[in-house]
C-alpha cells in the first residue's frame, strides 16, 4: 500500500489531535461537578478547672478534660455544591460554623443530627468546630458528608507548600508531550503492521 504523501506526517498530526482530544475530555470530566472534600484538622483535650460541689468542696477545684476538634469541608470542584449535609452520629450541643453562614440544623433520633449548608460555591470551604465532654470522642461525632451531587471524599491533611504555577504548567506540558509521544509510536507501529 503506497500513499502519495508522507505517512509519518499524517501519524504526527493524528497523534497531536488525539492528545488534544484526550486532554479536553479529561478537562471536561474534572470540571463537570463539584468535588467535596472533608478532613479532620485537629483533635485535642483541654483540661478545664471546675469547682467541686458537695460537703467540704467549697473553694476547691478539679481539672476535667473538655474535648474539641474541627473539620474542614471544601468544594474543590468547579461548580456549586447544593445541599451539603454533614451527618453526625452524636451532634454535640456546642459547635461553630466558620465563616459565619446560614445553615439548617436537623435533629435526628437520639443524639444524631445534621448540619445542612444550602450551597458551597466552587473553591469555598467551611470549618466546623465542636466542643464536648467525655466519654464522647471525635470519631463518634461526624459520620459522613455529602451533597445532592454525591458523597464527599475524606482526606488526610498534611501541611505542604503549594507548588508554584510554573511547576504545575510544566507537569501538564510534560504529560501532554508524553501522551502525544505514546500515541505517535502506537500509530507508527500500527502503520508498519498494516503495511
Cell, residue 70: 474541627
pLDDT confidence of residue 56: 57
- Name residue 88's beta-bridge partners: 113, 142
Q: If we measure between CA atoms, which residue out of 158, 186, 149 comes closest to residue 35?
A: 149
pLDDT confidence of residue 191: 78
Spell out the SS3 assignment of the chain. Answer: CCCCCCHHHHHHHHHHHHHHHHHHHHHHHHHCCCCEEEEEEEEEEEEEEEECCCCCCCCCEEEEEEEEEEEEEEECCCCCEEEEEEEECCCCCEEEEECCCCCEEEECCCCCEEEEEEEECCCCEEEEEEEECCCCCHHHCEEEEEECCEECEECCCCCCCCCCHHHHHHHHHHHHHHHHHHHHHHHHHHHHHHC
Q: Residue 153's CB: how many other CB atoms inside 10 A?
A: 12
Q: pTM for the complete prediction? A: 0.63
Pick the CATH number of 36-148 from 1.20.1070, 1.10.3470, 2.170.130, 2.60.40: 2.60.40
State residue 109 phi and psi, 5-degree precision.
-75, 145
Spell out the SS3 assignment of 66-117. Answer: EEEEEEEEEECCCCCEEEEEEEECCCCCEEEEECCCCCEEEECCCCCEEEEE
| Distances, alpha carbon 152 to alpha carbons 6, 32, 90, 118, in Å | 51, 15, 19, 15
pLDDT tens series, the chain, 195 aa? 454 556 677 777 888 888 888 888 887 776 667 888 888 888 888 888 877 766 655 667 888 888 998 999 998 888 888 999 999 888 888 899 998 888 998 888 888 889 999 998 988 999 999 998 888 888 888 888 888 888 888 888 766 778 888 888 899 999 999 989 988 888 888 777 776
pLDDT confidence of residue 128: 92
pLDDT confidence of residue 98: 92
State residue 45 phi and psi, 5-degree precision.
-115, 130
Amino acid at each position: 500500500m503506497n500513499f502519495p504523501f508522507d505517512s509519518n506526517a499524517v501519524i504526527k498530526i493524528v497523534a497531536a489531535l488525539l492528545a488534544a482530544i484526550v486532554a479536553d475530555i479529561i478537562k471536561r470530566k474534572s470540571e463537570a461537578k463539584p468535588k467535596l472534600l472533608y478532613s479532620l484538622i485537629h483533635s485535642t483535650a483541654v483540661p478545664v478547672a471546675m469547682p467541686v460541689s458537695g460537703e467540704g468542696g467549697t473553694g476547691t477545684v478539679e481539672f476535667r478534660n473538655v474535648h474539641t476538634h474541627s473539620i474542614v469541608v471544601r468544594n474543590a470542584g468547579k461548580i456549586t455544591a447544593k445541599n451539603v449535609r454533614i451527618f453526625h452520629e452524636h451532634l454535640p450541643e456546642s459547635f461553630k460554623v466558620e465563616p459565619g453562614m446560614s445553615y439548617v440544623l436537623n435533629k435526628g433520633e437520639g443524639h444524631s443530627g445534621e448540619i445542612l449548608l444550602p450551597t458551597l460555591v466552587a473553591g469555598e470551604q467551611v470549618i466546623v468546630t465542636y466542643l464536648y465532654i467525655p466519654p464522647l470522642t471525635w470519631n463518634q461525632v461526624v459520620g459522613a458528608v455529602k451533597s445532592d451531587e454525591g458523597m464527599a471524599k475524606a482526606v488526610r491533611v498534611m501541611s505542604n507548600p503549594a507548588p508554584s504555577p510554573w511547576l504545575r504548567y510544566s507537569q501538564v506540558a510534560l504529560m501532554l508531550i508524553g501522551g502525544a509521544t505514546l500515541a505517535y509510536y502506537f500509530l507508527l507501529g500500527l502503520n508498519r503492521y498494516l503495511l
